[in-house]
């Protein structure tokens, strides 16, 4: 009886974890450049004193879906999307280099360029800052040019070039802040082969219909585990009654 109860209990617990991962994906279905998380469940043996006769379920964030989202035109000069494979280098909250696909850029009150999540954009020499200007233009290779105040429309001054990288997917891992980092703790080299599309943004790669179907499946799995726990309790009660009669 205890074996049945233990399996049902651990299954319900891990189903809740899987639901949390799936719900996070669904909640970020409209987040620019978001990459969905995969999850997997495994049966693990319980080790300890006595005979190893019990198993439990284990749910983990197995990896990241690296498929690209859809590029959507916005016609906004500060928006950009990576064209194909590659990543935009940003500075995380700890001042370290990290990578994202979110190109919804902003210019703060001191002239630094950040994305919509507030991470500073990195260029050839660190965080990118732009002086006051009339117009800003992002080239296909990530070069940022401006029309200085007081200059003609034909005058463009190059400010910096966005650091674009393209490491292998297996070299990257996703942090809790949604940013990608190199697994070995190093920084990726700039890749001149990575291009961007200005005036556009990349959508999340979350399949909303699939995520909603998965949510229903997990909810039903959870209900099944709860019913098994209730059945184990009923069987235990019936066994106790039979022992009383004997």
Q: What is the mean pLDDT of residues 192-218?
A: 95
How many CB atoms are closer than 10 A to CB 123?
20
Do 184 and 196 touch, CB atoms closer than 8 A? no
Q: Which residue has the tokens 């105040």?
A: 149
Q: What is the pLDDT of residues 1-18, one digit of tens each?
A: 567 777 788 888 888 988
Q: Are strands 143-148 and 157-161 parallel, antiparallel or unpaired?
A: antiparallel
Q: Please, which pLDDT band fits residue 52 given cuts at 50, 70 and 90?
A: low
For 6, phi then psi, to 5°, come to -65, -45
Listed range (48-57, 113-122, 183-192) with the worst mean pLDDT: 48-57
Supply 1's token pair. 């009886």
pLDDT at 193 (0 to 100): 94
Q: What is the pLDDT of residues 92-133, one digit of tens each?
A: 999 999 999 999 999 999 999 999 999 999 998 899 999 999
Helix locations, the chain, DSSP H: 2-27, 208-245
- Give the end-to-end CA distance of the chain in Å, rounded to a whole number: 20
Supply 148's token pair. 């200085």
Q: For the chain, which residues make up each domain, given as ranges?
A: 2-66+206-245, 71-202
pLDDT at 47 (0 to 100): 66
Supply 231's token pair. 């059945």
How many CB atoms are closer than 10 A to CB 75?
8
Q: What is the mean pLDDT of residues 82-92?
A: 96
Distance of CA 220 to the CA centre of its chain: 26
* Of the candidates 63, 62, 31, the residue with the CA atom closest to the CA atom of residue 205: 31
Arithmetic mean of pLDDT over the chain: 89
Cα separation, 59 vs 116, whole angstroms: 31
Do 142 and 83 touch, CB atoms closer than 8 A? no
pLDDT at 60 (0 to 100): 60
The DSSP symbol for 151 reads S
- Return the sign of the alpha-carbon dihedral for residues 23, 26, 27, 33: positive
């Amino acid at each position: 009886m205890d074996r049945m109860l233990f399996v049902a209990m651990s299954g319900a617990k891990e189903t809740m974890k899987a639901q949390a991962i799936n719900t996070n994906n669904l909640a970020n279905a409209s987040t620019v450049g978001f990459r969905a998380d995969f999850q997997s469940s495994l049966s693990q043996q319980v080790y300890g004193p006595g005979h190893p006769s019990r198993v439990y379920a284990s749910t983990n964030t197995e990896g990241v879906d690296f498929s690209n989202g859809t590029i959507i035109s916005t016609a906004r000069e500060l928006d950009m999307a990576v064209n194909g494979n590659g990543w935009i280098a940003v500075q995380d909250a700890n001042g370290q280099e990290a990578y994202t696909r979110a190109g919804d850029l902003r210019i703060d009150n001191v002239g630094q360029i950040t994305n919509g999540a507030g991470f500073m954009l990195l260029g050839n020499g660190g965080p990118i800052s732009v002086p006051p200007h009339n117009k800003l233009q992002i080239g296909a290779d990530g070069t940022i040019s401006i029309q200085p105040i007081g200059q003609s429309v034909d005058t463009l001054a190059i400010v910096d070039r966005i650091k674009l990288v393209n490491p292998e997917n297996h070299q990257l891992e996703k942090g809790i802040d949604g940013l990608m980092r190199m697994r070995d703790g190093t920084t990726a080299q700039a890749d001149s082969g990575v291009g961007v599309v200005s005036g556009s943004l990349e959508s999340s790669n979350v399949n909303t219909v699939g995520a909603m179907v998965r949510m229903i499946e997990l909810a039903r799995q959870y209900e099944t585990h709860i019913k098994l726990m209730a059945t184990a309790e009923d069987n235990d009660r019936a066994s106790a009654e039979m022992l009383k009669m004997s």
